[in-house]
Amino acid sequence: MNQLEQLKQYTTIVADTGDFQAMKAFAPQDATTNPSLILKAVQKDEYRPLLEKAVRDHGGKPTEEVIDNLLVAFGMEILKLIPGRVSTETDARLSFDTEGTIAKGRALIALYEKAGIPRERVLIKIASTWEGIRAAEVLEKEGIRCNLTLLFSLPQAIACAEAGVQLISPFVGRIYDWYKKSTGQEYSGADDPGVQSVRRIYTYFRKFGYRTEVMGASFRNTSQITELAGCDLLTISPDLLQKLAESNAPVERKLSVQQAEAADLQKIALDEKTFRFQLNEDAMATEKLAEGIRQFCADAIKLDKLVEALR
C-alpha cells in the first residue's frame, strides 16, 4: 500500500481544497474550504461559472448574501463527490462578533437545508477566538455542528472541547513556520513544534474523555502528516495527498486512545480570563491567530470585489 492508503487505516482523510478534481482523484471522506481556497478556485476558468451563477441568481441581494450562496454552491458540489461532511467558513470579519457569527452560521445552514442538504453533512467553520467559541457553543446546542479553525494552542482547544464543539483544526504548518522563523532552526519528525502541539491536544482530549474531534491541518510536508497517523482526522492539500500516494514508505500509528489514557496529565481549569491570559502568554498563538484572521479578511474583501465587479 502507498502512504495514503496506509494512513487511511488509522485516520480519516479530508481534502483541504476547493478543487473538485482533486477530490475525485484522492477519494477523501470529508472536505474543508476557507475564504482563501474559494477565492483561488473562482479565479480558475472551470469554477468561474459557480461565481457567475451566484451573481446572476442573487445579484439583487447584498454582496454578503451573494457570497453566502456562492459558498454553499461550492459546498453542494463538493458533497456530490464525498461521502462525509464539508466545512464552510463564516466571514472572518465576524471573528470577534459572537452574535454575528451565530447569525451567519444559522444563515449558511438554512441555505444548505433549503437545497436539501441535511445539517449533519455540514460543519460551520469559525475562528477559535473566545467570541467564536461562544458562538459555536450556541450553534452546537441547535444541532449546527462546528469546525473551530485558526487554532494554535492548548487553551483554545480546551475552550472548544468544553463548549461541546464537534471538531477543531489545529494548524500544524503555521506553528512550524513561526518557530522556524523565530529560532532559525529546521524541525522534522516528532521534534516539529506543530506536530507536538496536535499530539498534546489529542492526548488531552482523549485522556479526559472529550468528544470533540481533532483534525490536524495546514501541513508543510508529508513527515508532519505521517507523524500524526492515528489522529481523528487530517485535512491535507492536493499536492501533499499526491506525494503520499506516490510513496510506499511505511506509516506507523503514532497516536492512540490507549496511549492518551495512560498519559500523566493534569486537567486545566479554564474561564474567559484564564483563556485570554494564557493565549496572550503564547506569542506564537497570539501572532498566528491575528495573522490568520487578517489574511482571511483580506481574501474575503477580494471575493466581495469579484462579486461586485460582475453585477
Q: Give the DSSP H or E segment for 32.
A: strand 30-32
How far apart CA 259 and CA 118 sit, in angstroms, is: 35
Say what the pLDDT of residue 59 is: 87
191-246 pLDDT, tens per residue?
A: 999 999 999 999 999 999 999 999 999 999 999 999 999 999 999 999 999 999 99
User: Does residue 19 contact residue 77 with C-beta atoms inside 8 Å?
Assistant: no
Q: What pLDDT does residue 248 have?
A: 98
- What letter does residue 171 receive in the DSSP assignment? B
Q: What is the mean pLDDT of the chain?
A: 97
Residue range 277-309, pLDDT digits in tens: 999 999 999 999 999 999 999 999 999 999 999
Q: Give the closest residue to 148 by CA, choosing from 69, 85, 210, 95.
A: 95
Which helix (H) or strand (E) covers residue 277, if one does?
helix 272-281
Query: Residue 5 is placed in which grid cell?
Result: 492508503
Answer yes or no: is pLDDT of 142 > 90.
yes
Query: In this structure, what C-alpha cell is assigned to residue 304?
Result: 466581495
Per-residue pLDDT, 22: 87
Q: Is the pLDDT of residue 136 over 90?
A: yes
Closest CA relative to residue 125, chosen from 169, 74, 176, 164 = 169
pLDDT tens for each residue of 93-123: 999 999 999 999 999 999 999 999 999 999 9
Neighbours of 246 (CB within 10 A): 11
Side-chain-side CA neighbours of 100 within 13 Å: the count stands at 11
- For the record, the C-alpha cell of 172 comes out as 500544524
Catalytic-labelled residue, pool 80, 104, 125, 288: 125
DSSP label at residue 92: G
CA distances 284 to 179, 187, 215, 278, Å, are 8, 16, 20, 12
The SS3 call for residue 163 is: coil
125 is catalytic: yes
The per-residue pLDDT for 21 is 87
| Three-class DSSP category at 215 | strand
Task: Report the relative pairing of strands 233-236 and 146-151 from DSSP bridges.
Answer: unpaired
Residue 257 has pLDDT above 90, yes or no: yes
DSSP string, 189-220: GGG-HHHHHHHHHHHHHHHTT---EEEEB--S
pLDDT number for residue 307:
95
Taken as a whole, the chain contains a residue count of 311
pLDDT at 134: 98
CA 110, 115, 116, 117 dihedral sign is negative
Strand partners, 170: 151
Q: What are the tens digits of pLDDT across the range 153-194?
A: 999 999 999 999 999 999 999 999 999 999 999 999 999 999
Q: How confident is the model at residue 35 (pLDDT cuts 50, 70, 90)?
A: confident
- Report pLDDT for 147: 98
Cell 522556524, residue located: 180
